[in-house]
A and B are shown apart, each in its own frame.
Chain A
Amino acid sequence: MNQAATLPQSIPPGYLASSQGKGGLASWLFTTDHKRIGLLYLACILTLFAVGVCLGLIMRLKLITPGNQLLTPQTYNAVFTLHGVIMIFMVVIPSIPATFGNFLLPLHLGAQDVSFPRLNLFSWWLYLIGSLVAVLSIFTGSGAPDTGWTFYVPFSERTTTNVSVAVLAVFILGFSSILTGLNFVTTIHQMRARGMTWRRLSLFVWSLYATAWVQVLATPVLGITVLLVFAERVLNLGLFDPTRGGDPLLYQHLFWIYSHPAVYIMILPAMGVVSDIIPVFARKRIFGYKMIAFSSLTIAFVGSLVWAHHMFTSGISDFAVLLFSFLTFIVAVPSAIKVFNWLSTLYKGSISLEPPLLYTLGFIWMFSVGGLTGLIQGAAGPDIHVHDTYFIVGHFHYVIFGGTGLGMFAALHYWFPKMFGRMYDRRRARTAFWIILAGMNLLYFPMFVLGMEGMPRRYYDYLPEFATGQFISTVGSWVLAAGLGLMFWNLYAGLRRGAPAGPNPWGAATLEWTLSSPPPHENFEHEPRVDHGPYDFAREASHE
């Protein structure tokens, strides 16, 4: 895959350069180019990711030994709430769809842009405004929100901290997500190039399609729910507060109707990234294309029916517990189909262990551990034991950081040469990967043990018997931070002075690799005519 002999000596300016005489910051802030909007999202998301990581590190540092040091209990509550709100709503949910989805969807379809470019820009502005309002909630009113990212009632209605502004921010961010989903569904239906049949779509596009439907159908429920909390706080309604005739479980239903499918908004695009990367670095067609595509839709649909498994201990009916537990086990099937198909693709492949594939393999490991521990909680009996303990924190971070996070990093390493036209130091990228993987497991695996032993989550202090696990976990957070630092520094160095990457450094067969790196403003000079599938490497090689 090293095409040094054919590399260009200079990098074409592409979409990164100003066009039609328009330059400066305004040409970025008011751009309707999907590639630039993707980069705007990327810049915001990485900035907020750094903030979320810092909050997590502070939290772990506070927990390194038992006792009261570093933070007051109220500040600790605010720190874990902000860590959750920032990471979930501003980083993980928009991470892959808003950045790589925006950048790549039209390129994968052979289109010039998304269906509604202005709506796309508006969606980014909503994201920016929502994020600013969330930051505002920290510094205004009577203190940063302290409810946890779930805003559970009745506490979220009674706390005097700045919950009203925070839920308003979530409302705005939700609309940004809905508009992106709407744009993607329309684009995939309407903007495919000639010959780009549904069976020739890349699996990344299939995953974006499934995700977009969840964004469109489930996110409005979150919007309504947080609006009701806002109304309850401001107008003193009695919707959720039991002292005024409300039902707090109704809030939990409404919240999880969105927030569990949101987990699939987070993980499905990462699965799409994995499905696109593995065949390239195994030099084989993907095994089970149709089943992987179909499983994305199945995960999106069945994943929308399992929300109440978050509520097994909350007092919902026994029938509901039975039903939702059963459905939770069903959703494991399409997830397993994907994992088995990825492994089957790798089997007897000509594997090239480049950084994108390493991060992808890391995804499979972390997601498998996270997924299997999820089944323990999906079973109603064991869930009663581990509910609201560190076990759930470990499980969630394995799936979301180990899954979506590593998926995002895999995408970043895979498409970096296409986005910026330069290559990073691959050896350093591999080193960073191993440090990150070690750090993640050191940080989150002890949480499974702590949770099984009964350590409740979100507690400010703990008993001495949990001290060893907490200490190991905190050391893991430092290792992870070091790995992340190395990875981002390496990418930054590549951005500044990396060697020109050429149009197709990995020898991939999807349409974006037929363009120069970085791609030109208008993408394709002429509308491409597609006559082969996205993983038809033999055809691609014969074209070269």
Chain B
Amino acid sequence: MSSDSDQHLPHILGDRLLTAVWLALLVLTVVTILVARIHLGFNNILVAMTIATTKALLVIFFFMHMKYENRLLQGLLCLAFVVLAIFIGMTFFDVAYRDVALS
């Protein structure tokens, strides 16, 4: 059977890296709470989504080892992210312009 995947080698991440990622996640969580208290209007959503996406990427790339996977898997993950971004983006596009009449 043909295969698109490269030779897969196991990766063991060091404690330092894992701790650093964990700390980054904690910091970003605190930032999310702090930013939510500042009134930025519609931009609050953009900031919250950006932080949430960064956190998700950290988990996927390091805790789930996506950083060390082949390009096919990374590309497929990227596709999923793009689709999700479009779903969320176009929904909020409607919300952002709901009070604006074309006429």
Contacts and interface: CB of A to CB of B under 8 A. Distances in A.
B80 A320 contact: no
A190 B101 contact: no
A454 to B, nearest CB: 26
A316 interface: yes
Contacts of B1: 111, 190-194, 527
B102 A196 contact: no
Given A305-B86, A318-B100, A318-B101, A192 B91 contact: no
Contacts of B79: 213, 217
A317 B102 CA distance: 9
A320 B2 contact: no
A189 interface: yes
Given A190-B1, A191-B1, A194-B2, A320 B97 contact: yes
Nearest to A221: B87
Given A190-B5, A192-B1, A217-B80, A257 B93 contact: no
A308 B94 contact: yes
Contacts of A254: 91
B4 interface: yes
B31 interface: no
A4 interface: no
A318 B102 contact: yes
Nearest to B92: A253
Interface in A482-526: none
B100 A250 contact: no
Interface in B48-103: 72, 79-80, 83-84, 86-87, 90-91, 93-103
Interface range for A: 20 to 34
A77 interface: no
B83 A190 contact: no
Contacts of A249: 94
Contacts, number: 69
A253 B86 contact: no
Most-contacted residue by chain B among A257, A304, A322, A527 (CB, 10 A): A257
Contacts of B72: 189
Contacts of A218: 83
B91 A317 contact: no
A323 interface: yes
A139 interface: no
B84 to A, nearest CB: 8
A192 B80 CA distance: 24
B3 interface: yes
A320 B83 contact: no
A26 to B, nearest CB: 30
Interface in A315-365: 315-320, 322-323
B56 to A, nearest CB: 14
A323 B4 contact: no
B3 A319 contact: no
Interface of A is mostly: helix
Contacts of B2: 190, 192-194, 196
Interface in A209-250: 213, 216-218, 221, 247, 249-250
Given A111-B1, A196-B2, A308-B90, A317 B83 contact: no
Contacts of B93: 317, 319-320, 323
A289 B41 CA distance: 50
A193 B3 CA distance: 10
Given A217-B83, A305-B86, A305-B90, A190 B97 contact: no
Contacts of B83: 217-218, 304
B70 to A, nearest CB: 11
B4 to A, nearest CB: 5
B27 to A, nearest CB: 27
A111 B1 CA distance: 8
Given A221-B87, A304-B83, A305-B90, A189 B4 contact: yes
A69 to B, nearest CB: 43
Contact of A318 (B5, B90, B95, B97): B97
A474 to B, nearest CB: 39
Most-contacted residue by chain A among B5, B72, B83, B84 (CB, 10 A): B83
Contacts of A257: 87, 91
A319 B94 CA distance: 7
B68 to A, nearest CB: 19
Contacts of B99: 317
Contacts of B103: 318
Interface of A: 111, 189-194, 196, 213, 216-218, 221, 247, 249-250, 253-254, 257, 304-305, 308, 315-320, 322-323, 527
8 A-B pairs closest in CB distance: A317-B97, A320-B94, A318-B102, A319-B97, A317-B98, A253-B91, A316-B94, A192-B2
8 contacts: A111-B1, A189-B72, A190-B4, A247-B95, A257-B91, A305-B90, A317-B93, A318-B97
Given A316-B98, A319-B102, A323-B90, 5 more contacts: A308-B90, A318-B97, A319-B94, A323-B93, A527-B1
